[in-house]
Structure 1
Amino acid sequence: MNQDDTTFIALCIYAVQIPLSSFWLKRFRMGPMEWLWRLLTYGKKDAHQKISKSQSTYEARQMSMN
């Protein structure tokens, strides 16, 4: 595999990741890896809560910081 092939693969992954991240973060207040990181750090299961329709992503993130 040459450099052009690996660059193409990386750009394809990036192109898929952007819409998936946007889709996910519109529905949940944190990503799956952040949830796992917090679980391992604090030793308790934090609710992987959905964001309500009336709550913006910014508001949800501010609440999770407290």
Structure 2
Amino acid sequence: MKVGDFVGWSDIEGNREPTVPAGIILDIEQHSAMGEFDNNYNVYLVLLQHNGGLSWEHGSDLVVMYESR
């Protein structure tokens, strides 16, 4: 995922069809996980479609619906 992509909520429960739109990615922050796993992960600042608000979301919660060029 990258800045400008339009994303939706990932289907965690297996009963959502089609994907519910979330919004457009405005910024990405990379974080280093502390502890035994020591993996990096990204959080995404999303301009929400349903209310125009801003929200930081984990990449595992999102799926790309439309890619920016």
Q: TM-score over 0.5 for the alignment?
A: no
TM-score by length of 1: 0.26
More strand by percentage: 2
TM-score by length of 2: 0.26
Which structure's relative contact order is higher, taking Cα pairs within 8 Å and 6+ residues apart?
Answer: 2
Larger radius of gyration: 1
